[in-house]
Each structure stands twice: as C-alpha cells, then as structure tokens.
Amino acid sequence: MLSPVSEVVVLGTATEADVRQLAALLVDAVESNAAVSFVAPLSMDRAVSWWTETLVSAAKSRAIVLVVRVEGEIVGTVQVQPAWAPNQPHRAEICKLIVHRKARNRGLASALMRAAEEHAGRAGYTLLTLDARGDGPACPLYRKLGWVEVGAIPRFALNADGGGYHETVIFYKELGAPPCTRES
C-alpha cells in the first residue's frame, strides 16, 4: 500500500527515470481506458517519446508540468498548457490529469488540480479550460472543485480501448479578471 503524499511539485528538469515513470503512468491510463488522447495498445517506447517531446516543448513555452510522488515514484501528473493564440495570453488549458490506478481514491487528483490552479494563477493566467470524458470519473471532480460545465460534444473521441466513442464535456474556471487593454 502506498503511503500518503505530501506535496505536488513542478517538474523542472526531468531525469530519464522521471520520463520513464511518466510514460508508465500514461500507459497505465490508456490500459484503464482513460481519455488521454491515446488508444491501446500504447507501447512504453511511444509513451517515452511522447513525454520527451512534451517536456521539451514545455521547457520552451510557459507550460507547467506538475507531478506528485509517493515513495519517490511519480504516481500522478497534470499540465497547464498556455493558449497558443496571441489574443489569449490570459488563458491556459489543463491537460492530462492522470493518477495511476494503484494511487487512486486518495485525493491526488484534487491535489493536482488545486496545485495547477494555484500555479496557473501565479503565472498570470486568469481563465482555464479543460475537457473530460463525459462518463468518466473526472467530471464530478471538476464540478466539486468549482469548474463550470459549458456543454458536451457527442462522439468526440474514440475510447482508449477502441470500443466506440465517448462524449467530451467542456469546462472552464475563472481565476480572476484579466486586465483590459482595449479602449472602449
């Protein structure tokens, strides 16, 4: 049994071990049919490659990658990805909230989300968006954390196991009002 977690931290420079642990986390999510943009089977090599590319990209942008470790092992992660559009410097997207199956139901997803919101606010983002599988466990969590549901898009993506499509629910959360730079 895993011990309780003490802290969610920003992943700075990732070690090879960090990348492999993140890859294992992604593979576990896909194997559990989570909606994380991949379909099974997902090889460790492909997951390592994706995380390597993602972390390089994050280092070049204002992206924030958060992790939670238990006994030194990464068992959860979430990302704050800045909007790419020049007219949206105040907005970021929450991506890839993943908690390993062996560490679920311990409040880690809530801790990761609260930390993501806190770090996003400190980075100057005032509007966050995310999407979640409509029939998945994340939607009730987001509602509980004060996220506003905008609506659902039917048949948005394939299930990770390839067994049909699922709807995706779009959420947002305002962290504060952005400064207005447009003259009336």
Q: How confident is the model at residue 176 (pLDDT cuts 50, 70, 90)?
A: confident
Beta bridge partners of 79: 65, 95
Span 8-125: which CATH code?
3.40.630.30
**What is the rounded distance in angstroms from the CA atom of residue 97 to the CA atom of residue 95?**
6
pLDDT tens-digit map of 125-161? 999 999 999 999 999 999 999 999 999 999 999 999 9
pLDDT value at 6 more than 90:
no
The chain-wide mean pLDDT, for the chain, equals 93
Q: Coil, strand, or helix at residue 181?
A: coil
Ramachandran area for residue 170 (φ above 0: left; ψ -120 to 50: alpha; else beta): beta
Q: How confident is the model at residue 179 (pLDDT cuts 50, 70, 90)?
A: low
Domain boundaries, the chain: 8-125
Orientation angle between helical segments 16-31 and 44-60, nearest 10 degrees = 120
Task: List the one residue out of 145, 131, 143 whose CA is nearest residue 81.
Answer: 131
